[in-house]
Amino acid sequence: MHVSSQFFLLERQNFVCLTRITRELCLSVFRPRTMRYYQQKYPEVDELVMVQVQHIAEMGAYVRLLEYDGTEGMILLSELSRRRIRSVQKLIRVGRNEVVVVLRVDNEKGYIDLSKRKVLPEDITRCEERYLKSKSVASILRHVASKLGGEIPGEKEKRVRKKGADAEDAIPEEAPPPVAGEAERLEMLYETIAWPLGRTYGHPYDAFKLALTEPDTVFGTLSTPIPEATLALLTATIARRLTPQPIKLRADIELTCYTPAGIDAIKRALRAGEKASTEAVPIKAKLVAPPLYVLSTNSTDKYAAVERLERAIEGIQASIEDEGGSCLVKMKPKAISETDEAELAQLMAKVGQENAEVSGDEDDEAVGL
């Protein structure tokens, strides 16, 4: 039994190895060429990585490491969940992105073993934020690489400096400048710009965000100067992609006051809420239909806007309760879509039309009397 067990384990290891080699060969032919987001070729043990599920097999799930040039990894069946697995399809699906942690890395063979069951909820948020940052940086650099000419960035400046240094000597006939494809230009941009900035600022994305206001400070930290044409294209792309766009946020509340102060108390409460406004987060209160009111704002900082709206609600609640009324939050502050905005506008228009019809009826009755 002992010999047969060892033979079975050896056969299983050989099967996994052969399957991995076969799949890697297929992926290398059919997988589009990308660029790794970080300087190291493979992730480190215990590092959180974002992967995309490619295939589910008997031994586990084969995935692509999205941040490492699509390198293949494997999540063993035993590493999918802490609980008893009843259905693999409910835990993991082909084509879906997952956050996993690295268990083992074979740098020589390129084998990477991963675990999903050891990932904590807070790890998922942290990894997703880093992945989105890296993806944004990749999008910017890929666009710059596609717009640059065929020459490798920086080669022209090197030739100019060399020609100036050798001006006294006879200048031999120059060889044609090295021509690079888009992949080579992208790698050069990572090596000369993104990765050095990442070491200085923690992540290239954070450096690019700072470059919106302090480009000279950020790019001045690089040991290799960026060619003027490349720098102009890069800064323009960063400004277009990373400049914050204002978003709309809204909170819905119900205000009632049955004391003699009545509507005046409600007006004072709404004004108290609007006093929570700042220059960056202006807050407006509008009537939808009694007792429903909305607080809305436009801001480039979502978290600051939510905080200000919450303060506005607290001010409204304190003011109306002091005068014997009440405030009920129907919808907490949140970002709204164009559809939400259109539905609110439609509701307000409908209420306005109904009020107009009522007012017209009253006028007719008055005339009749």
Structure token digits, residue 138? 């990749």
Low-confidence ranges of the chain (pLDDT < 50): 1, 3-5, 7-12, 15-16, 18, 21-22, 24-33, 165, 167-177, 179, 362-369
Give the residue carrying structure tokens 């119900």. 254
Residues 6+ apart with CB under 8 A from 233: 144, 147, 148
pTM of the model: 0.60
Instruction: State how far the Cα of 297 lies from the Cα of 29, in Å rounded to an integer.
Output: 51
Instruction: State how far the Cα of 182 lies from the Cα of 169, in Å rounded to an integer.
Output: 35
For residue range 37-66, list pLDDT tens digits in order: 999 999 999 999 999 999 888 888 899 999
**Domains identified in the chain and CATH numbers:** 17-119 (2.40.50.140), 126-156+180-242 (1.10.150.190), 247-363 (3.30.70.1130)
